[in-house]
Structure 1
Amino acid sequence: MTAAPHTAAPTEVVIGLDVGTTAVKAVAFGVDVYWRCTAEREYSLEQPAPGWQVQDPAAIGAAVIAALAECVAGCAGARVLAVSLSSAMHGLIGLDADRHPLTPLVTWADERARGEARLLRDSGRAAELHRVSGAPVHPMTPLTKLMWFRREAAELHARVRWWIGLKDYVLQLLTESLVTELSSASGTGMLDMATRSWSAPALDLAGVTPYQLPEILPTTAVLDLSASSAASIGLPPGTPVVAGGADGPLGNLGSGAVAPGIVGLSLGTSGAVRTVVREPFADPDGRLFCYALTDTAWVVGGAVSNGGVVVRWVGDVFGRDLLAASGGAATDTELLELAARAPAGSDGLVMLPYLLAERAPLWDPDLRGAFIGVRHSHTRDHFVRAAVEGVALQLSTIVTELERLEPVKAVQVTGGAFRSPLWRSVVAAVLNRPVHAAGDVEGSALGAAALGLLALGRVTELADGPARLGVLPVGEGDPVSVDPNDAAAYAQLRAGVSVLLDCYRPVATLFGAGSGPS
């Protein structure tokens, strides 16, 4: 457990519960005082078959209860106003009639439905599904996962009484209510954004009825903590549980990137770029997603599967001596020190960083990565830096796409990658816009807590929540400094990579880009 950063104890706290891909984090935030108490539990991501990425729901549930209990115990006697939820998007669990899991959690990273996504694209149905739901057709979505179960596991598909997501599973655990909320529903590929209800054409493809899916509540809906969960956690029964939202939209709220023209960019293992608009946006070009934060705040942007994981992979391949010296795991710090020795642009070495099934803005899970422009003079320093630059360039394409909606005035960056000066300087130079690093903010957990204040009536405007929890407005302080020479080099590189990708995509198919798991 991470203790409070300040000694002044709050009288009231809101707990933001962020249930992620590999860990759950419970953070108690002091109201009107900068105070934090954090507890975290990890769980494993399993790969029972190539391309599959699943988790044990029971292990996640146990981690949720344990993290909450530890967090509550560290709240220094403060009154817990509510527990407000955030969770990873796009997961799918099948339940029987008694609400017991018949399947593991099939996570967003699971690629088994690549064939279904390809079929929808090739048939021409993908564009209309994207327009209605806001979720691009991709193996990550529950829609394509359900199509896979219908085709490959028909008997199991028929036995499932309820199909739910990760957020829905946690809400049931804490409140005994089988419900979902608008934000998580908007990531399924089965929501009709216009009506805020399940889409009949998508459900027909999935082979399910509306009665097999949870009721969709507002993200500000308040439920009651059940007696059994309350006893395990150490809170009074009936403590408010705010339905909350998905981790991506809440990440924007947590970083303060909710004003017009402000973009939130998060980067960890994967990455995302998002901005907030007031109405659902159906991208006519099919490049950007649109997910709900509230009924009147929608997050438009794109996510990349290949973020910091790319640099870690490059270290595994090119840093064997570092692996040996570190006992089996080269640290990001060591790798980035190598990258910093190479010049901006990596002396013409370019990486297309598609190691995992890529998402925005191409939404092409079959596209594979490549190093291009290799010369005898290139060293591993260049290869590592090219990996960093490749990820930054991919993120910059999403920022460019967002400018179709509104000019981007500033970018707020968050995530573990930005502890590194190199990541900060490369991303700032590639974007060539004012970039502000939010530091080690609590991201989606903070967003959940801020949304909780809105749900409880403690604030009347969405943007006011973070300030009540001690977060400074976006743009306070100087932006990340940018070397003009680096910015010029990356401007030239951006233009070159765009042309290069147009040439590479058809060539890549000749080498089996669609012949197996990424």
Structure 2
Amino acid sequence: MTHPGIPPRTGTPATARGRAKEVVIGLDVGTTAVKAVAFGVDAPWRHLAVCEIDPGPVQDTARIAAAITKSIAQCVYACADARVLAVSVSTAMHGLIALDADMRPLTPLLTWADGRAADQARKLHTSGQAAELHRVSGTPVHPMTPLAKLLWFREHDPDLWARARWWVGLKDYALWRLTGTLVTELSSASGTGMLDMAARDWNPEALRLTGVGPDRLPRILPTTAALEISPTTAWDTGLAVGTPVVTGAADGPLGNLGTAATAPGMAGLSLGTSGAVRAVVPEPYADPEGRLFSYALTDSAWVIGGAISNGGAVVRWAGDVFASDIPAGPHRDTALLELAAAVPPGSDGLVMRPYLLPERAPLWDPDLRGAYLGLSHRHTRGHFVRAAVEAVALRLAAIVDDLERVHPVTAVRVTGGAFRSPLWRSVVAATVDRPTVFTSGAEGSALGAAALALYALGCAPTLDAAPALLDPASAEGDVVVTSAADVDTYRAMRAQAADG
């Protein structure tokens, strides 16, 4: 009998294709797609299964659950003659779902992009409570956080508030769907704004403030904890009963692990629809200036940095506005970036403030608004697009400078879909003004999740050594070459921007 979600058995048998004897599946549940990647242990083999989900500030939990099952099932089928050592889970941060007593969702998934709690976040800043909450939790107070969203529900939807038995994140929901056990883990908990970093437990002050008792939140496990796949999920995916499910961590910290950006002095920079810069430190860090987040990778490895809401989406917006004559899609993006590449660095004086969505780092001000400055008759749509690229790069460079306050940043590893463009690579490398390596691996968070599982199972001597056991090329990359003139141009622009 065929398992649901598994394609018919066609093509070359697995044994003839040289499958690895043991694999680990890294499951990456993002905001636009669910990716499951089967990595061969000590063998250069992988299989990627991708299931798209509807992007947006709110998302259908049923579609997410179905995508999780389908993507894992496709991986299991692709390596049918191999032993799956474990499934390990990476998920996007800052989501919130209300569940009733029967575990039925009362809300869709509210992602980081849901800005309904702007007033609640603003009040916490006005009252002075935001600084202390950030110091204890490591998460800046912002509408993206579950903390702020919980305050919104308490004030605006008392009926749902009363019916909600559980308040959970995307990781918690994914683990429950996979194992039947409702728990969270330290990394995802550290992005809620509700954690006490020092105690590794829910912060009593955040609980008091939101009115959510610890009995309405999942129990916090280590990121290396292992549960077991539920019998139902085992049947639906083709996994063996009892297969370990490693709780894993959040996608950002796991992205650093999967792209070999964990060494001292190394920053990992990722850029897709949004963007982020992160560096790994050995313990939680409470930023006295309130600009950097601090999220867990493991109990003894923490990731500090900042995320921007306005990344590659800014250029996509520019395409919608300035290039409606070009059909939407990847071809439009390529055509626009080619036009922008013909414009000199600095965009002939055209400057963009790229705040189209409620901005996060480094200013954590959701009320900032975007603008173009310095406009003249000579500016073309190529100028507008290049100014957008440069504006995003300047925001990322500001985060790199913030990291420098904590520890010298001697090199940057960049990854993400935007960097398929030579323009994005050259502009970002020249703007951050540090040796920059482009790593083309598109499954960094999935590899990080699988590597964390390998370490958790005792199959890797250290956490940093684990990725290479699954992907020997994970530490490789291409050096991005920049010109001294470009570096000088963007250095001057950084000085002028000064957080503007």
TM-score band, normalised by shorter chain: over 0.9
The Cα of 1:252 is off from its aligned counterpart by 0.4
Match of 2:100 in 1: 96
Asked if 1:81 corresponds to 2:85, the answer is yes
Match of 1:251 in 2: 255
Match of 2:340 in 1: 339
Asked if 1:212 corresponds to 2:216, the answer is yes
The Cα of 1:379 is off from its aligned counterpart by 1.1
Runs of 5+ in structure 2 lacking a partner? 1-6
CA distance in 1, matches of 2:478, 2:179: 44
CA distance in 1, matches of 2:346, 2:216: 52
Match of 1:157 in 2: 161
Aligned amino acid, residue 394 of structure 2: L
Asked if 1:25 corresponds to 2:35, the answer is yes
Aligned amino acid, residue 315 of structure 2: V
Structure 1 window deviating more from structure 2 (478-487 vs 141-150): it is 478-487
CA distance in 1, matches of 2:405, 2:262: 17
Aligned residues: 488
Cα pair distance change 1:258/1:439, threshold 3 Å: same
Match of 1:469 in 2: 470
The Cα of 1:76 is off from its aligned counterpart by 4.5
Q: Provide the TM-score with structure 1 as the length reference.
A: 0.92
Match of 2:265 in 1: 261
Runs of 5+ in structure 1 lacking a partner? 47-52, 502-518
CA distance in 2, matches of 1:333, 1:7: 35
Aligned amino acid, residue 481 of structure 1: V
Asked if 1:403 corresponds to 2:407, the answer is no
Aligned amino acid, residue 292 of structure 2: L
Q: Which runs of 4+ in 1 moved over 4 A?
A: 327-330
| 8 Å Cα contact 1:319-1:330 kept in structure 2 | no
Asked if 1:423 corresponds to 2:424, the answer is yes
Aligned pair partner of 1:320 in 321, 324, 345: 324
CA distance in 1, matches of 2:328, 2:192: 41
Match of 1:514 in 2: none
| 8 Å Cα contact 2:354-2:371 kept in structure 1 | yes
| 8 Å Cα contact 1:393-1:494 kept in structure 2 | yes
| 8 Å Cα contact 2:439-2:477 kept in structure 1 | no
Match of 1:506 in 2: none
CA distance in 2, matches of 1:160, 1:359: 29
Aligned amino acid, residue 415 of structure 1: G
CA distance in 1, matches of 2:377, 2:463: 54
CA distance in 1, matches of 2:329, 2:78: 35
| 8 Å Cα contact 1:268-1:307 kept in structure 2 | yes
| 8 Å Cα contact 2:394-2:431 kept in structure 1 | yes
Aligned amino acid, residue 409 of structure 2: V
| 8 Å Cα contact 1:90-1:107 kept in structure 2 | yes
SS at match of 2:465: helix
Deviations 1:292-348 (A, max 9, x none): 0000000000000000000000111111222xxx36776211110010010001011
CA distance in 1, matches of 2:158, 2:411: 49
Match of 2:3 in 1: none
CA distance in 2, matches of 1:321, 1:215: 52
CA distance in 1, matches of 2:411, 2:236: 44
What is the root-mean-square deviation of aligned Cα atoms in Å? Answer: 1.6
| 8 Å Cα contact 2:234-2:240 kept in structure 1 | yes
The Cα of 1:151 is off from its aligned counterpart by 0.3
SS at match of 1:316: helix
SS at match of 2:140: coil
The Cα of 1:471 is off from its aligned counterpart by 3.5
The Cα of 1:478 is off from its aligned counterpart by 5.4
- Output aligned runs, 1:56-135, within 5 Å: 56-135=60-139
SS at match of 1:454: helix
Match of 2:359 in 1: 358
CA distance in 2, matches of 1:428, 1:387: 16
CA distance in 2, matches of 1:231, 1:473: 33
Structure 1 window deviating more from structure 2 (53-62 vs 477-486): it is 477-486
| 8 Å Cα contact 2:261-2:413 kept in structure 1 | yes
